[in-house]
């Protein structure tokens, strides 16, 4: 027999009561861990999607719209810009590279992006099978797209005009799938990548009267140019000079998204506060249950004092029980949060056609564990106080 064994017997003495305490605490831990994790996943996802893109150059309009359209691929583009003009911009030595993208079509709601070989490099994307685009009318699928539409390398399909799934008319010339990318957990997963020529040729055939067979470099247009800087100093000068001196606009995705996040982040913050409130409530619950336990067992504890147990031994006994409850609640809480977060991310994947990575940061976990430990410790200390002040003689004289 030792203190630990007595604690465990006490722990098991009223199982329903103990279980209830564990449950309440674990739910609040689950909420806390889950929210932190979702928040982190969401933020990381936004950062991830930026890849190496420091700046986007596109047609004048809303900078947020430009970023949403060209970087996150969720909004409509602001318009088109001249390929030639855009190319001249990136000759600046402070610019490392510029990747042109050109929109036009979709297949079953997945956007077809005409671009160069540099685009997948922005996201460190590798081929899962097949090869890269070599000529017009060839496409490589992002991993989510490949999974969703169920087509293989070698298959072809007809794209629909425009970015929306319905409403556009089908193009005549089919696109051939030559490759599939590995999952990047970034926005690229839900794109269909092709060469710039594919987009130009498709619209050339669709709108022959305008182009009339004389497509030259100077007439070619792109939706936007994704730019990465060589030198962070460029952030200060280049966007301003583009916005002031050309009929194009430059937007900084990091800045725009942070601005957006500041507004949408309010929700996350509120939920985090609610989780903290629940944590405090469950700590009060632990305190009350430990306090009641000490009260209920006052006679048993006094009896143990009469057996020769000293104060420290009784304090240990109650503290062990508290920590047993807290650590079980923590394990269950983390498990619950993982199940919850998994389902939420599944839902997000369904909705946004993009997979998010499951992130459980050890630092966040440690922080939560520390916080829970601190709260439990203080409630245990409060509950233990009556043991120290206990008048054994009095308790033993008033037998139940």
- Which residues make up the interface to other proteins (CB under 8 A)? 1-2, 5-6, 9-10, 12-13, 297, 299-300, 303-311, 313, 392-393, 396-397, 399-400
If the CB atoms of residues 21 and 253 are measured against other proteins, the closer one turns out to be 21
Please give the Cα distance from 396 to 400 (Å, whole number).
9
If the CB atoms of residues 60 and 311 are measured against other proteins, the closer one turns out to be 311
Q: Least CB distance from residue 295 to other proteins, whole Å?
A: 14
Q: Least CB distance from residue 300 to other proteins, whole Å?
A: 5
If the CB atoms of residues 2 and 209 are measured against other proteins, the closer one turns out to be 2
If the CB atoms of residues 139 and 302 are measured against other proteins, the closer one turns out to be 302
Residue spans of beta strands (DSSP E) within 60-158: 81-82, 95-107, 110-115, 127-130, 138-141, 156-157
If the CB atoms of residues 241 and 306 are measured against other proteins, the closer one turns out to be 306
Give the sign of the dihedral formed by CA 247, CA 248, CA 252, CA 256. positive
Strands 127-130 and 175-181: antiparallel
Tokens (6 digits) for 171: 């193009």
Is the Cβ–Cβ distance between 189 and 181 less than 8 Å? Answer: yes
Instruction: Give rounded-to-5 percent helix, strand, coil for the chain.
Output: 60, 15, 25
Residue 271's Cβ-side half-sphere holds a number of Cα atoms within 13 Å equal to 14
Please give the Cα distance from 133 to 127 (Å, whole number).
11
Q: Least CB distance from residue 305 to other proteins, whole Å?
A: 7
Q: Least CB distance from residue 320 to other proteins, whole Å?
A: 13
Nearest to 71 by CA among 86, 90, 52, 87: 52
If the CB atoms of residues 263 and 398 are measured against other proteins, the closer one turns out to be 398
Q: Least CB distance from residue 288 to other proteins, whole Å?
A: 19
If the CB atoms of residues 20 and 266 are measured against other proteins, the closer one turns out to be 20
If the CB atoms of residues 244 and 399 are measured against other proteins, the closer one turns out to be 399
Please give the Cα distance from 75 to 157 (Å, whole number).
24
Is the Cβ–Cβ distance between 230 and 236 less than 8 Å? Answer: no
Q: Least CB distance from residue 15 to other proteins, whole Å?
A: 11
Tokens (6 digits) for 310: 């000293």
Q: Least CB distance from residue 34 to other proteins, whole Å?
A: 35
Q: Least CB distance from residue 310 to other proteins, whole Å?
A: 4
Please give the Cα distance from 96 to 93 (Å, whole number).
7
Is the Cβ–Cβ distance between 250 and 243 less than 8 Å? Answer: yes
Please give the Cα distance from 172 to 160 (Å, whole number).
9
């Amino acid at each position: 027999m030792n203190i630990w064994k007595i604690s465990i017997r006490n722990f098991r003495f009223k199982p329903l009561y103990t279980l209830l305490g564990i449950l309440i605490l674990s739910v609040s831990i689950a909420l806390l861990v889950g929210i932190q994790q979702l928040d982190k996943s969401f933020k990381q996802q936004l950062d991830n999607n930026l890849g190496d893109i420091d700046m986007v150059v596109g047609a004048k309009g809303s900078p947020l719209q430009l970023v949403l359209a060209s970087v996150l691929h969720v909004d409509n583009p602001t318009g088109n810009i001249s390929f030639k003009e855009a190319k001249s911009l990136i000759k600046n030595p402070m610019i490392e590279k510029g990747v042109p993208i050109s929109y036009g079509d979709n297949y079953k709601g997945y956007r077809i992006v005409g671009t160069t070989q540099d685009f997948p490099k922005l996201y460190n994307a590798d081929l899962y099978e097949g090869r890269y685009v070599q000529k017009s009318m060839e496409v490589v699928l992002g991993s989510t797209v490949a999974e969703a539409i169920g087509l293989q390398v070698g298959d072809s399909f007809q794209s629909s005009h425009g970015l929306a799934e319905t409403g556009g008319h089908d193009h005549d010339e089919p696109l051939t799938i030559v490759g599939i990318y590995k999952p990047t957990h970034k926005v690229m997963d839900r794109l269909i990548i092709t060469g710039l020529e594919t987009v130009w040729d498709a619209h050339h055939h669709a709108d022959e009267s305008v182009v009339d067979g004389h497509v030259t470099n100077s007439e070619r247009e792109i939706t936007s140019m994704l730019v990465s800087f060589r030198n962070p100093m460029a952030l200060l000068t280049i966007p301003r000079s583009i916005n002031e001196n050309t009929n194009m606009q430059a937007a900084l995705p990091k800045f725009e998204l942070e601005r957006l996040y500041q507004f949408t982040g309010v929700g996350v913050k509120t939920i985090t506060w609610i989780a903290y409130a629940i944590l405090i409530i469950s700590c009060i619950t632990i305190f009350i249950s430990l306090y009641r336990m000490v009260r209920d067992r006052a006679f048993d504890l006094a009896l143990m004092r009469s057996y020769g147990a000293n104060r420290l031994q009784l304090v240990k006994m109650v503290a062990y029980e508290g920590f047993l409850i807290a650590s079980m609640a923590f394990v269950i809480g983390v498990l619950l949060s993982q199940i919850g977060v998994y389902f939420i991310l599944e839902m997000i994947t369904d909705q946004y056609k993009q997979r998010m990575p499951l992130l459980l940061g050890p630092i966040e976990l440690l922080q939560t564990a520390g916080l829970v430990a601190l709260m439990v410790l203080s409630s245990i200390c409060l509950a233990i106080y009556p043991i120290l002040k206990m008048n054994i003689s009095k308790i033993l004289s008033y037998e139940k």
